[in-house]
Amino acid sequence: MPPKRRQNRPPDPEPPRPTSPSPDRDQSPQDEDDDESFAHAPLPFYNTTFSAHRVSPLYLGSEPLTAIRLQLLAQRLRDRLVGDVVRGVQVGVAGDGRDAIIGRAGALEMVEVSLVSVADVLDLSAEDVETLGGGGEDNEEDTTDLRRLAAQLPGKKALHISLRYELASCTALMLPPLAERGETAAADDNMEWEHSVNPTHFLRLPLLLLRMPAPLKTIIGDFLSTTFDCRVSAMRLGTRSLVCSWEAWIQSAGLPARGPLAKDTVLSLGFHVPPQLGKSSSTAAAPSEEVAATVDHQQTQLSLGLKSIDVIIPAAELKKFVTAGKRLADKQTASPAGSGWGWEEDVKKRRKLAGRLYEEGWEWRTPPKEGVSPEQYPFTEALACYLKEHLGLNLFHPGVRVVKIACGGFVMSETRLKLFAPGRLGEGEGLSLLAHRGAVLGLIGRLLEKALVQSVAV
């Protein structure tokens, strides 16, 4: 039987030829959707913890912040963040172990510098701005400032710096002043250095909100100061800022008893104990090093004390405190503290007990001039009476401070700020979405007034 003939094997299919990359085929449709969703994503303002900083006016020169200049600024910032290669050696952006902190975020993917509308940052539509500018019939005195802020909100632009890494995203927001004050502008025009330059060459963005690690905050601050010839410094939110923000929030947004914003309020009280050095005759003949060690030990020993107290007030009891505080204001009740301590009328002694810090010491509760009606703080007055009656604690002592306030709408401390989004609010929950946005607008407006660089009488 003749052997079977071997059948010819079909030729192997040719491998697909690699196509040359083209701009239209570099990214898959899914990647394009991701990039588009990131570009149109809302600005990270709500539910985000920021650190507050004060910025002096930016010097722009004769060229405004056009799109080309913003793109050039983004490229310069990217070069500073990535570093450079000098003679084959990678030069990092930070030292002393800070490169490791930035390296945890992964590679830098995108740096964007853009001008955005303040209304978009606050998530306010054109209808909301128009409604807030119209005000309301209730609390006409309280809504005057809100109307003024809302009326000047259209056209206000903020500078947004976005850093996107592989594992993290960082944000910087520079907000403009929402209310133009005639007195401050007139005072600035009278300064001698203002006559030598064109005022249009400057841009005022006094409030800087940063959400990023500490090394990146340093880099962003240095970049802004060297690029725009400005000064960036941390802004401390003292007792006055925290209490006024909370009282104004109550007047604007109210105190809802139900819904996602009906949460307990927490006030953290801090204490300043001035160190008092004890005198001892035994240290007179001791060597200098032993005297220094003894003094340091005595100072540490005497400065120890209670650090803070957290006062938690249930959401259902907040309205009762406000009602009681208004009754106290009607009766013109003085401070809960007893007289005779010696610091009530002595400004120098009060400031010394407060640690010589601005906004501390509760001096701002009394009007600076006679005949001027003091501002009302019903919730704080009622809380002070409650603490005096049940704990024997004088809230208005110069050494007592409010270091943090956490409620359903925001969390504020001496250096940090976080605003909560209202989410979905149903009918009858006691707080409308527009009232929440109006309260946020008022809070940001007060922070901007504080951030404006101005002379302070000492």
Please state, for a pLDDT cut of 70, what percent of the chain lies above it: 66
**184-200 burial code (b ≥16 CB/10 A, e <16):** eeeebeeeeeeeeeeee
Domain edge (last residue) among 219, 234, 249? 234
Q: Is the pLDDT of residue 287 over 70?
A: no
> Which residues have C-beta within 8 Å of that of residue 352, sequence separation ≥ 6?
274
* Whether the predicted pLDDT of 231 surpasses 60: yes
What is the 3 state secondary structure string of 273-341?
Answer: CCCCCCCCHHHCCCCHHHHHHHHHHHHHHHHCCCCEEEEEECHHHHHHHHHHHHHHHHCCCCCCCCCCC
- Of 106-115, 239-248, 367-376, least confident by mean pLDDT is 367-376
Task: Render pLDDT for 426-445 as a digit per residue (tens, 0 to 9).
Answer: 554 545 677 888 899 999 99
Q: What is the C-alpha to C-alpha distance for residues 201 and 199, in angstroms, rounded to an integer?
A: 5
Lowest mean pLDDT among 59-73, 351-365, 392-406: 351-365
Residues 191 and 279 grouped into a single domain: no
Neighbours of 164 (CB within 10 A): 16
φ/ψ of residue 311, rounded to 5: -105, 115
Is 297 a member of any domain? yes
**Shared-domain flag, residues 149 and 283:** no
283 in the same domain as 173:
no
Most confident of 153-157, 257-261, 313-317, 425-429: 313-317
The pLDDT-based confidence of 210 (bands split at 50, 70, 90) is very high
Q: Are 441 and 156 in contact (CB under 8 A)?
A: no
Q: Verify that 214 and 301 share a domain, yes or no.
A: no
- Judged against a pLDDT cut of 80, whether residue 318 lies above it is answered with yes
Q: Which of 205, 208, 189 is nearest to 156 (CA)?
A: 205
Nearest to 324 by CA among 311, 333, 337, 312: 333
Domain range for 378 = 239-451
The HSE-up count of residue 319 (CA atoms within 13 Å, CB side) is: 9
Task: Evaluate whether residue 4 is within a structural domain.
Answer: no
Is the predicted pLDDT of residue 245 greater than 50, yes or no?
A: yes
| Distance in angstroms (rounded) separating the CA atoms of residues 262 and 430 | 9
342: confidence class by pLDDT, cuts 50, 70, 90: low
| 291 vs 244, more confident | 244
Helix (H, G, I), strand (E, B) or coil at 65: coil
pLDDT confidence tier of residue 333, bands split at 50, 70 and 90: very low
Task: Look at residue 89 and tell me whether its pLDDT is greater than 60.
Answer: no
- Asked if 130 and 244 sit in the same domain, the reply is no
| Average pLDDT of the residues of the chain | 76
186 and 220, same domain (yes or no): yes
Position 340 confidence tier, pLDDT thresholds 50, 70, 90: low
Rounded to whole angstroms, the Cα distance separating 379 from 376 reads 9
In angstroms, the CA 279 to CA 276 distance is 10
Asked if 245 and 443 count as a contact pair (C-beta separation under 8 A), the reply is: yes
Domain end residue (candidates: 234, 266, 287): 234
Would you say residue 89 lies in a domain? no
pLDDT of residue 444: 93
In a domain, 222, yes or no: yes
Could you tell me if 216 and 163 are in contact, meaning their C-beta atoms sit under 8 angstroms apart? Answer: yes
Same domain for 230 and 244? no
| 131 and 269 share one domain | no
- What domain count does the chain have? 2
Note whether 213 and 282 are same-domain residues.
Answer: no
Is residue 248 within 8 A of residue 73, CB to CB? The reply is no
CA distance 395 to 406: 18
204 and 136 share one domain? yes
Q: Are residues 293 and 357 both part of a single domain?
A: yes
Residue 390 or 154, more confident: 390
Q: Which of 84-88, 314-318, 340-344 has the highest mean pLDDT?
A: 314-318
Cα 243 from Cα 404, distance rounded (Å): 9
| pLDDT number for residue 426 | 52
pLDDT for residue 139? 46
Shared domain for 269 and 331, answered yes or no, is yes
Confidence band for 180, pLDDT divided at 50, 70 and 90: low
